Amino acid sequence: MSVKPIFFALDGKSLSEFEFELKILKDHIYGVKVGLELFVSEGPSVVEKLKKQGWQVFLDLKLHDIPNTIKEATRSAANLGADFLTIHIASTSDALIEASNTKGNTLQILGVSSALTSRAMTNSVSEEVNKEFKEAKECGVDGVICPASEISKTKEIFDLIVTPGIRLKNDDKNDQKNVATPNFAINEGAKYIVMGRSIRNNLDYIINDLEL
């Protein structure tokens, strides 16, 4: 069985909301993304529960703080068993270096640019993103959260590219402006993609028909 390079976004207040989908998706997709809403509602134990179920866990907290706080939060995420953790590149190089030095052997740090997928991409924003990604690389960050439009540039800097804002061809864009189909993102060079609503609305297609 081929495991698809997808993180299922658990965007909700309770893990129980996703029980049905998690059972069906197990062994078909790579992992799950725990965002701030679920992490605050359920507490750190949500990571431990998902790890016990055998999931790769992407802890998407987008940390943005002083270096010492980033260091200790990174240590805590590693101790929980998280596999990936997001940190704002704007937290400064000192904070990113602290995270890189503290993460241990199993946690990977993903840098987040100020240009998220909910913003339209302009030439000036694209240049800003590229600059931030280069700075993150110099600080030992493992990879980045990268909009689909920036993958072609970013793969010259990072091998580990995680792309959100993924929709199937006929899906609504909702609040996302910088969107792409799964195949476009993977073919461009994303290592993993993040999908939420499109998975919940198309479970059979994702499991049986989507080829990546």
Report all structural domains of the chain as residue ranges with CATH numbers, in order of start. 4-208 (3.20.20.70)
pLDDT for the residue numbered 123: 85
For the entire predicted model, the pTM comes to 0.93
117 labeled binding residue:
yes
167 labeled binding residue:
yes
**Please, are residues 167 and 173 in contact by the beta-carbon 8 Å criterion?**
yes
56 labeled binding residue:
no
What CA–CA distance (Å, rounded) separates 87 from 120? Answer: 21
pLDDT for the residue numbered 117: 46
11 labeled binding residue:
yes
**Please, are residues 192 and 5 in contact by the beta-carbon 8 Å criterion?**
yes
pLDDT average per 10 residues of sequence, the chain (212 residues) = 92 95 96 97 96 97 97 98 97 96 97 70 85 96 94 97 90 65 96 95 93 91
Catalytic residues: 60, 62, 65
pLDDT for the residue numbered 176: 55
Maximum C-alpha span of the chain: 46
**Dihedral over alpha carbons 181, 186, 191, 194 (to 10 degrees):** 10
**Please, are residues 201 and 167 in contact by the beta-carbon 8 Å criterion?**
no
